[in-house]
Amino acid sequence: MGGVPPLGYEVKDRKLIIKEADAANVRWIFDRFIEIGSGTELARELASRGIQTSRGNRIDKKYLYRLLNNRAYIGEAVHKGDSYPGEHDAIIDRANWDKVHRILTESPRKRAARTRADTPALLKGLLFGPDGAAFSPTHIRELASHSLVEMAPVEKEGFRWTEAAEIRPSETEWKPSNLRVGEEFEAVLSSDKV
C-alpha cells in the first residue's frame, strides 16, 4: 500500500492495520453524522473537540466528505473505480455505512435547509467572512468591552440596527465590519411577504 493511509489506519508490512485511537474517532464521526446529518455542524464539532487528520491538520468539510465516502472503512479496496474485498479489517460496519449514504444521497440543499430550520437564525450558514469562515449567530444581552465580538446599537433611518465589530488575529484594534443586521431585518425575512 502506497500513499497516506486513511485516518484510523496505519501501514505495517504494506498492509492496513487499525490504529485504535484514531479508529474510535472515525466511528464517532460516522455515528455523529447519522445523528445530525450535517457536514458543516460535524466539522465544527470536530474542531471544538480537537480531532485532527493523521497529519495534524484541521478536519474541514471536504476532508470529512472524503472520509465518509472512503470504502476502506468497510474493508474494501478500490482500484480504477471498482471496489473489491480488502485484506484489512473494517472500522465501520455495513449498517452504519448504509445509513450515512442514505443521508448523503439526499440533496445537500435540503439537508442545509433542514439545519437552518432548526435555528431561528435565518442567515446561519449563508454569510461568510473574508477568511471563508461562516459567520455564526450570536445573542448578547449586555455589551462587554473585552469580548471578541462587540455589538453596538445604531439608529439609522428609523430602524434599530446592530453594528458588529470584529478583531482579526493579525490586528490589534477593532474594525467595524460591513455586516449590519437588525431585528427588523430578520422579522422581514421570516414574514410571509418575502
Query: pTM for this structure?
Result: 0.58
Beta bridge mates, 6: none
CATH architecture, domain 9-117: Alpha-Beta Complex (3.90)
Closest to 139 (Cα-Cα) out of 131, 154, 149, 127: 149
Domain boundaries, the chain: 9-117, 119-194
Burial of 98 (0-12, 13-18, 19+ CB in 10 A): exposed
Residues 83-132 pLDDT 10s: 999 999 999 999 999 999 999 998 777 766 666 555 566 666 677 777 77
Cα–Cα distance measured from residue 172 to residue 168, given in angstroms and rounded to the nearest whole number = 8
